[in-house]
Amino acid sequence: MLSVALLLLLAVEAADRNIGDMAALEWHLTHGFRAGCCGLEISVPLKYSVSEDRRSVALFDAPGFFRGRLFHLPHSMIIIQSSSGRYDQETTRQARERLLDLYGRQGYRLMSTPAIEVAGKTLECSELYAERDLNFGPYYQVWCWGDGPAVSFEGQPTLLAEFYSIVRAARPVTQ
Other CB atoms within 10 Å distance of the CB of residue 136: 13
pLDDT value at residue 20: 66
Q: Is the dihedral of CA 54, 39, 94, 133 positive or negative?
A: positive
Q: How confident is the model at residue 167 (pLDDT cuts 50, 70, 90)?
A: very high
Distances from the Cα of 72 to the Cαs of 16, 62, 90, 132, in angstroms? 18, 12, 42, 16
Domain residue spans of the chain: 2-172
Question: Rg (Cα) of the chain, in Å, rounded?
Answer: 19
- Number of helical H runs and strand E runs in the chain: 5, 11
Whether residue 72 is predicted with pLDDT greater than 50 in this model: the reply is yes
pLDDT value at residue 42: 93
pLDDT in tens, 53-66: 888 999 998 776 66
What integer is the mean pLDDT of 60-76?
70
pLDDT in tens, 2-26: 666 554 444 545 544 556 677 788 8
Question: By the 8 A CB rule, do 130 and 107 touch?
Answer: yes
d(CA 56, CA 170): 13
Whether residue 171 is predicted with pLDDT greater than 70 in this model: the reply is yes
pLDDT in tens, 97-142: 888 898 889 889 999 999 999 998 899 899 999 987 555 678 899 9
Amino acid code (one letter) for 46: L
The CATH number, out of the four listed (2.60.40.3950, 3.40.720.10, 3.40.50.11810, 2.60.120.1690), of the domain defined by the range 2-172 = 2.60.120.1690
Which has the higher per-residue pLDDT, 149 or 18? 149
Give ∠ CA 32-144-139 in degrees, rounded to 5: 80
Single out the residue of 114, 116, 124 nearest to residue 168, CA to CA: 116
Single out the residue of 47, 68, 77 nearest to residue 167, CA to CA: 77
